[in-house]
Structure 1
Amino acid sequence: MPVTSIGDLAQNFKQRSIGNRLHRELSTLNLELTTGLKQDVSKAVAGKTKPVAAIERALTLIDAQSLAVKEANIFADATGTALAATKSRIEGIELGGMAITNGMPKLQIDAMAQSARIAFTGMISDLGTQAAGRALFGGATGTSQTLRSAEDILADLAASLAGATSAADIEAGVNEYFGINIDPSEEYAFRTNDYLGEAVDLAPFDLGDGSTADIGIRADDTEIRTALAEVARVAVLSEDLGVSQQARAETLAEGSLGLLQARNEIIALEARLGTGAASIEDAMVRIGIERDGLQTARLGLLAADPYETATRLQQTEFQISSIYTLTARLSGLNLVSYLR
C-alpha cells in the first residue's frame, strides 16, 4: 500500500495554490492586454477610487441614455418611412387625377377609383406599421391594431353615403365621416369605429440632457384624417353608391385638388417629424462625444502598459509551464529513482 507523508500533501497543496494563483494572474493579464485597462483598480490609482467610480457611473448613465435615444431614432426612422410611403401612394393617384374631365367614360372612372382604393388600402397598412413591438400611429401605448381594415372602412363609408346624388353630397358625407372641419369635441364615425389606438398622444422621448423629441403622430390626427378622407373620396367610387356617372366624374375631377391638399398634409407631418429627428441626431452626437471623453479619462487613470503586460503574461505562462513539468517529473518518481 502506498504511503503519503504529511510533507508530500503539504507540497501538493502548495503547488496547487501556486498554480491557481498563476492562472488567475494569467486571466487578469489577458484582460488587461485585451482592454488596455488595469483590472486592479485600487492598486492602479493608489487607493483613490472615487474618480474612477464617478467615471463608471457616468458611463453607465450615458449607456442608458444612448439606448433610449437609439429607440427614439428607430421610431423616428420607421415613422418617416411610413409617411414617405403614404405620400408616394397619394402622388400616384394625383398624377392620373390631373387629366380627369367630366366626360370620362365609365371604364376610366372605374379604373381611377380602383387605383385610389388600392392606394387607400396601402395607406391603412402604412398607418398600421409597428417598430419594436409598438404601433407607430397608435398613440401612447401603441401595442394594438391601429385601424380597422380598409375594406371595412370603405364599406361603412359607402353605407353612410346612401342617398347622395351629387359630388357635393359625396364630399360632405366623406368629410362628416372623417370628422373634417368639425369641432374636435364632436364624435365622428372614423374616430368612433375605425381608429383603434389610444386617445392619448405618445409622450416625447427623453434625450437625456433636458431636451426631448416629440415625434408621436396618431392615425386620427387632423393631417392623417384629411389625407385619408381625400383618398377615400375617390376610392369609395369603387363601391355601388347608386350615383350618376356625371356625379362620379365630378367627384374625381374635384378629388384631384383634394389629393394635392392631402399630399401637403403629409409633407407637413414629415416636416414636424424632421424637427424631432434632428434633435435625436444631435443627442446621438452629444452622447458619442461624452462617451469618448469619459473613456479617455478612464484610460488616463487605468491604462495598462501593453509592453509591460505582454512581458508579465509571457513570464506567467512560463511559470505555469514549469509547474506542470515539475509536477509530471515528481509524479514519475519511485524508490529506485530516488535511491539513484
Structure 2
Amino acid sequence: MTVTTIGDLAQTFKQRTVGNRLHRDLGTLNFELTTGLKRDVAKAVGGNTGPVASIERALTHLEAQSTAVKEASIFAGATGIALSAMSTRIEGIDLGAMTITHETSALQIDGLAKSARIAFVGMISDLGTQTAGRPLFGGASGNAQVTRGAEDIMADLVSSLAGATSAKDIKDGVTAYFADGGPFQTKDYVGVPVDLAPFDLGDGSRVEVGVRADDPAIREALAEVARIAVLGEGLPVSHEARADVLSGGVTGLLQGQNKLIGLEAGVGLATASIDDAKVRIGTERNGFELARLDLLAADPYDTAIRLKQTENQISMIYTLTARLSELSLVSYLR
C-alpha cells in the first residue's frame, strides 16, 4: 500500500489555508445573518447584477435627498422658533399701555419703555440665530453676523430723533429709520440683500425657507417696539407727547406681532412641504429595500445553521492545533 505523507510545514500551510477560508465564510455568514442579504450579489442573481445596481443607485440618490431634506427641516424649524420668540417678546411688553393717558405717571411710562427696550435687544439677538454655523436671517450670506449690535442700532436711532418735539415726530422718525432704504436696511443689516436659495426636496419641487432680517415684516415689528423703547432714552419731548406715543403704539405692537405671525405661518407651510418630502423619501426607500430583499434575501434559518457549522469547524481546528503543539518525541515513542 502506498503511503502519502505531508511534511510539518505543508501541514501547517494547509491548516492555515483552511482556517483562513473558514474565517472568510464566518464573516460572510455573519453579514448575511445580520443584514438578511446575500453577500455574493452576482451568485445570488445568477450574474444579472443590473437590477441590483439600479436599486443601489436609487437608494444612494434617496439618501442624498434625505440629507438635503433633513437640512431644510432643521433650518425651517429653527427659523420658526426664532420668529415665535420674537413674537413672544412683543407679548412681553405690558399691553396695559392701552390705558395710558396724559395723567399716567412718568415712572409707568419709563417702565413700559424699558420693557420695550429689553424686547428690542432680544429681537435683535433672535435675528442673529444660527444653525450648524449658518445664519438664519442673513440671506445668502455665510457671515455669522446679520445685524449690528442692538445697542449701536438704538444709539443711532435715538440720534436720528434728536430734533423730535412731538409724538408725530417720534413716529415719523422711527418709521423712516426702518423704512425701505432707511438706516436699518442700509447700515444696520449686514447680511446679503439676496434671498437664501430654495431647498431642493428631490422630486422636482423646491421650498423657500429663508427670511432675511431686513424683511419688511421684521422691520415693521422692530419699528413698533423701538418706537416705545426710545421713550426711555431721554428725548426732549413733553410728558404728554410720550404718553401719546405710548398710547398710539399699542395698535402698532399688535400689527407688528401679526406681521411676525404671518412670516411664521409661511415657514410653517414650508415645513409641511418638507414633512411631505420626508414621507415620500421614506416610502420610496422602503420600496427599493423590499425589492433588493426579494433579489438578495438570505434564508436566516439556513444561514444560522451554516454559521454554527463554520464556528464548530474553526473550534475543531483550534483544538487539534493545541493538541498537536503539545506532542513531543517521548510522547510519540510511547
- Under a length normalisation based on structure 1, what TM-score does the superposition of the two structures give? 0.94
CA–CA distance in structure 2, aligned partners of residues 215 and 95 of structure 1: 31
CA–CA distance in structure 2, aligned partners of residues 10 and 141 of structure 1: 69
Q: CA deviation at 1:240?
A: 1.3
Q: CA deviation at 1:339?
A: 3.4
Aligned to 1:335: 329
CA–CA distance in structure 2, aligned partners of residues 98 and 285 of structure 1: 47
CA–CA distance in structure 1, aligned partners of residues 108 and 90 of structure 2: 18
Indicate if the aligned counterparts of 2:133 and 2:144 stay in contact, CA closer than 8 A. Answer: no
Indicate if the aligned counterparts of 2:26 and 2:307 stay in contact, CA closer than 8 A. Answer: yes
Is 1:176–2:170 an aligned residue pair?
A: no
Cα deviation code 1:81-123 (max 9, x no counterpart): 0111111111222623222223211000000000000111111
Aligned to 2:45: 45
CA–CA distance in structure 2, aligned partners of residues 156 and 335 of structure 1: 100
Cα deviation code 1:213-244 (max 9, x no counterpart): 10110000100000000000001111111111
CA–CA distance in structure 2, aligned partners of residues 94 and 261 of structure 1: 15
Is 1:188–2:182 an aligned residue pair?
A: yes
Aligned to 2:71: 71
In 2 relative to 1, CA 105–94 (structure 1 residues): closer, same or farther, beyond 3 Å?
closer
The correspondence of residues 1-340 of structure 1 with structure 2, limited to 5 A, is 7-93=7-93, 95-179=95-179, 184=180, 187-340=181-334
Indicate if the aligned counterparts of 1:139 and 1:198 stay in contact, CA closer than 8 A. Answer: yes
Q: CA deviation at 1:335?
A: 2.5
SS in 2 for 1:93: coil
How many residues were matched structurally?
330
Indicate if the aligned counterparts of 1:136 and 1:142 stay in contact, CA closer than 8 A. Answer: no
CA–CA distance in structure 1, aligned partners of residues 251 and 106 of structure 2: 21
CA–CA distance in structure 2, aligned partners of residues 102 and 22 of structure 1: 94
Cα deviation code 1:62-87 (max 9, x no counterpart): 11100100000000110000111111
Unaligned runs of 5+ in 2: none
CA–CA distance in structure 1, aligned partners of residues 198 and 88 of structure 2: 27
CA–CA distance in structure 2, aligned partners of residues 93 and 251 of structure 1: 15
Cα deviation code 1:134-157 (max 9, x no counterpart): 110011124321111211111110
Indicate if the aligned counterparts of 1:166 and 1:243 stay in contact, CA closer than 8 A. Answer: yes
- Which letter does structure 1 place at the counterpart of 2:83? L
Cα deviation code 1:154-196 (max 9, x no counterpart): 11100000110001000110011111xxxx5xx3211222111
Cα deviation code 1:262-319 (max 9, x no counterpart): 0111111012112211110110010110111111111111111111011000000110
SS in 2 for 1:272: helix
- Which letter does structure 2 place at the counterpart of 1:32? E
CA–CA distance in structure 2, aligned partners of residues 262 and 72 of structure 1: 27
> Percent identity of the aligned residues?
68
Q: CA deviation at 1:126?
A: 0.9
Q: CA deviation at 1:6?
A: 7.7
Give the RMSD, CA atoms, in angstroms: 1.3
- Under a length normalisation based on structure 2, what TM-score does the superposition of the two structures give? 0.96
Cα deviation code 1:9-35 (max 9, x no counterpart): 111111001101101111111111111
CA–CA distance in structure 2, aligned partners of residues 7 and 170 of structure 1: 105
More divergent stretch after superposition (253-262 vs 326-335): 326-335
- Which letter does structure 2 place at the counterpart of 1:286? R
Unaligned runs of 5+ in 1: none
